[in-house]
Amino acid sequence: MIPFLIIATLLSLLAAAVMAIYSRDPAHSVLSYMGFGLGSTVLYLLFSAPDVALTEAVIGAGVGALVFVVALLQTQNKEQP
Amino acid sequence: MNLKRTLALSHLLTGLLVSVMIIALLGTLRLLTPPIDTIGETLLHINAQSTQVANAVTSVVTYFRGLDTLGEVSILFLSIFGVALHMQHSTRNLFGAHDTLLQIGAQVLFPLIVLFGVYIITHGHLSPGGGFQGGVIIASAFVLRFLAYGDHYEPSARLLTLSESLSGAGLVLLGVLGLLLGDRIFAQILSLGTMGTLLSGGVIELVYLFVGLKVAAEMTLLSQHFIKARDV
């Protein structure tokens, strides 16, 4: 069961990374990035490292995404007349 | 189209190359240092003898490597300092939404998130988590308030700065006290207690309390600076 879960998480991580690079809308990229952070959290948890998983959840999906969302809002405000 | 295909191909090739390099590096490390497998067991053995802390990761981070944690906290302080210098005149809030549903939800969720963060900090030596994670969780509660209230919510900057600097000074004082009374920086100068109870670990829990308060105040200040960024 656990190896299957690890492989599924790795595949979804790959999908999220590819989506973060190639999606046309920057907002979708930011969402994929947050999904990547969430997937990494699950992966660390599966490898029985709950401390690292908690840090990844807080930093990857929290603070990192906040920085990207703020950058997104700044640039969008500039583009609109 | 041709350019895009070339770009995709180069991304794929770079990814393949990097993964091959990482696998080769890991293999080399494993060949060069065979005793790396036994470090974990040795650490667990020492931890069971010298500290009464259930979470071995916590005792490594704050006790065996206390100086590293101090350096990490000062790096965080310097980065917040740089952001505050760069985004000095903050006037406009990026999130100007005044959604009643979001405001009521933020009112309900704010104390719960802060309580969860305090739980993570105070139980850092018993369960996964600790000062850094709990501090960022507390700061995320403040981010929720910024989102909901926009310009109408302004946490007291003086209180945030005061708690940040006081906890930083307390952390340094704890390290210096360990150096004076014990044999090294962050030495154990309090009674250990019994493993598994809330008041166990002595200095380790105090270090996490200070780190948690400092990180919470710093992250709140950072997100405030980011969210209320000036129109460049």
One digit per residue, the tens of pLDDT, for chain B of length 232 reads 578 888 888 888 888 999 888 888 887 776 666 565 677 788 888 887 777 788 888 888 888 888 888 888 889 888 888 888 877 655 555 666 667 888 898 999 999 999 999 999 998 888 888 888 999 999 999 988 888 887 677 788 889 889 988 998 998 898 888 888 888 888 887 777 777 777 877 788 888 899 999 999 999 988 888 777 655 4
Closest alpha carbon within chain A to B227:
A70
- CB hemisphere CA count around B118 (13 angstroms): 6
Closest CA to B56 of A48, A57, A39, A44: A48
The rounded distance, in Å, linking the Cα atoms of B32 and B201 is: 36
Of residues A51, A66, A70, nearest to B57 (C-beta)? A51
Q: Which positions 21-80 of A are in contact with B (Cβ < 8 Å)?
A: 21-22, 50-51, 53-55, 58-59, 62-63, 66-67, 70, 73-74, 77
State percent of chain A over pLDDT 90: 35
Q: Rounded CA gap, B10 and B30, in Å? A: 30
Q: Where are the domains of chain B?
A: 54-227
pLDDT digits (tens, 9 = 90+) for A22-58: 998 888 999 999 999 999 999 999 988 888 999 998 8
* Assembly ipTM: 0.82
Contacts A63 to B, Cβ<8 Å:
136, 219, 223
- The candidate with the shortest Cα–Cα distance to B212, out of B84, B109, B58, is B58
The pLDDT, as a whole number, for residue B36 is 59
The pLDDT, as a whole number, for residue B32 is 63
B128 Cβ under 8 Å from any chain A Cβ? yes
Q: Measured between CB atoms, does A14 come within 8 Å of chain B?
A: no
- H-helix segments, B123-154: 131-149
Name which of B1, B19, B72, B223 to mutate to probe chain A: the one with the most chain A Cβ atoms within 10 A of its Cβ: B223
Containing domain of residue A44, as a range? 2-79
Contact B223 A66 (CB under 8 A): yes
Q: What angle do CA B98, B96, A33 make, to 5 degrees?
A: 105
Q: In angstroms, rounded to a whole number, what is the distance separating the alpha carbons of residues B131 and B143? A: 18
Give contacts of B 79-108 with A, CB under 8 A.
Answer: 94-95
| CA–CA gap between residue B225 and residue B2 (Å, rounded) | 43
Q: How many domains does chain A have?
A: 1
What is the CA angle A8-A13-A18, rounded to 5?
130
Q: Measured between alpha carbons, how far is B184 from B171 in angstroms, rounded to an integer?
A: 15
Q: Pick the residue with more confidence: A70 or A53?
A: A53
To the question of pTM greater than 0.90 for the whole model, the response is no
B52 in contact with A, Cβ within 8 Å: no
Q: Tell me whether residues A51 and B129 touch, CB distance under 8 A.
A: yes
Contact B226 A67 (CB under 8 A): yes
Closest residue in A to B219 (Cα–Cα): A63
Q: How close A3 gets to chain B, by Cα (Å)? A: 19
> What is the C-alpha separation between B105 and B100, in angstroms, rounded?
8
| CA angle (B198 as vertex; B60, B168 as ends), nearest 5 | 55
Q: How far apart are CA B25 and CA B192, in angstroms?
A: 41
Interface contact flag, B55 A77, Cβ < 8 Å = no
Nearest residue in chain A measured CA to CA from B127 = A51
